Structures are given as C-alpha cells and as structure tokens.
Structure 1
Amino acid sequence: MISSYSDLIQASRNQQEAQRLLFVFCRAELPDDACAEEKSAFERGEGGALTPVICVDKTPEEAPDFGALAEESRATGQAWDVVFIAAMSGRGGMAPSTDEAQQPLTMMVESIRLGHIGNYLPLDPRGNAVSLG
C-alpha cells in the first residue's frame, strides 16, 4: 500500500518496466454561487472543486524527492492543495517519453476536472497520501 511519495518512488523502481510519472497539481476552490453551508464546510477543509493548475511528467529519477518536486511547483507561482499522480509503464527497459505522456496527461487533467479521481494517487503538500471522498 502506498501512503507517501517515498512509497510511490520505491514502488515505481520495483516495476518490471521503466516508469514515467504524471503529476496534476490542483487547487481547491469554492464556486462563486456557493451557499452559506458550502462556504462553512469549505472553511473546515471539506467540499469545493479541484481545479488543475500545473501538470508535468517526470521519470522517478527526475523527481526522487517530494520536497524538490514541491519546491519546483512553488516556483511557478501557482498555489495548490493536492497533487494527483499516475504512472505509465515503458517498453523494452525504456520509460515513455514526454511526447508519449502528453495525451495521457491531457486526459488525466480532463478526468480530474470531471471529478473522476479514483485512478490516481492523491497527495497533500507534504507528500502524504490523502483520502478524498
């Protein structure tokens, strides 16, 4: 079971084929037309919508440490609350290229926008797995 970014990196290194990781960083936002109850829940850290603000792909070797990955994301100036991660397996010992990752990454962003997040690992800003429900 993966409960942190470190666990994910270890699992990716144990795969038979080389991996490429897909990252979609999202900010929790409250819709403009939210009612008082929704606003109150949002202030408690519940509800809202997850809006993708940054997406990137990297090999596990390019992002072995969550702290460095989080720092790189902060350098964009985009605040985020949760990052969703998926993995792609390569072939013949080679990880998929960035070009090969573009379409799956685009599909991942759209899937998250639609609220379909069950296939992705969500992590908080400290790199710990979170349960979203």
Structure 2
Amino acid sequence: MPIACFTDLLAEARRQPEPQRLLFVFARAELPDHPDAEQRERFEQGEGGVLAPVLCVDKTLDELSDMQSLVEESRRTEVEWDIVFAAALAGDGREPPSSDEAEQPLQRMVESLQQGTIDNFLAFDRRGDAVSFH
C-alpha cells in the first residue's frame, strides 16, 4: 500500500504482524554553511537548503493517535521544525521494542539524515501529507 499521508503510516504499522515502535526525527530547513547567492535566493523562496535534525522521539502505536497529536506534542518543546521523518522498528511478536531498544536505531536515523541520506525514511509535513524529495 502506498503511504500518502500520516494516517496511512499508522494503518500500515497496525497491519504488521509484529508490534511496531515508530521513530520520528523532526528537521528544520536551514541555509547550508557559506551559501552562495543562488542558494540564498532559493531558500528565501521556500526551496532548497539543508534539513537539520532538531528533535527526535519514539512512540508505540498506543501512544499515537494522529498527526495532530504529534504536532501538538512537538509544539510543547518550542522547537521549530518543517518536516518529520519516520521509520518503524518491529517488536518480538508480543510487544513493541522498548524506548531503550529504539535509542540506537533512532540515533542512526539522525546520523543518516545529517549525512543527507533520506531514502530509507518516510517524510511528512505538519499537515501529515507525505513529502517526496527530488
């Protein structure tokens, strides 16, 4: 099933035979170090830039009802973000992985995003619509 929105992600995760823990890395669009005039102009038009991870969290499906609840929780941190990247971590058959078990995969996810490797993750805007990058 293609995932077009955050609701699709939750539905697909619930269909999996193993209980899932969802991993989220929130990123903010920023100008790269030492931008040239073209990069600066594109960024000011809402295009280009780099995505810098600014916040991460993991959630079981029981802890997450919809995109609005995730946005509201992130708002309480007062950390601004533009895109949230998502991945899933499967459990052992009865229970989803613990938050401790998710720590290392979440850190690897942050490191991948810092290196610009985003192909392994789903991305969503604040409305919960899937975002693709060209």
Interval containing the TM-score (normalised by the shorter chain): over 0.9
The alignment partner of 2:61 has SS state of coil
AA in 1 matched with 2:76:
A
TM-aligned CA deviation for residue 49 of structure 1: 0.8
TM-aligned CA deviation for residue 63 of structure 1: 1.0
**Distance in 2 (alpha carbons) for counterparts of 1:45 and 1:118:** 21
Partner of 1:52: 53
Partner of 1:65: 66
CA deviation string 1:86-121 (max 9, x = no partner): 000111221000000000000000000000000000
Between stretches 89-98 and 15-24, larger displacement belongs to 89-98
TM-score by length of 1: 0.97
Partner of 1:37: 38
Q: Which runs of 5+ in 2 are unaligned?
A: none
The alignment partner of 2:116 has SS state of coil
Q: CA RMSD in A?
A: 0.8
Partner of 2:3: 2
The alignment partner of 2:40 has SS state of helix
The alignment partner of 2:22 has SS state of strand
AA in 2 matched with 1:13:
R
The size of the alignment, in residue pairs, is: 133
**Once superposed, which parts of structure 1, at least 4 consecutive aligned residues long, lie more than 3 Å away?**
none
Partner of 1:106: 107
Q: Which runs of 5+ in 1 are unaligned?
A: none
CA deviation string 1:61-85 (max 9, x = no partner): 1012110110110110110000000
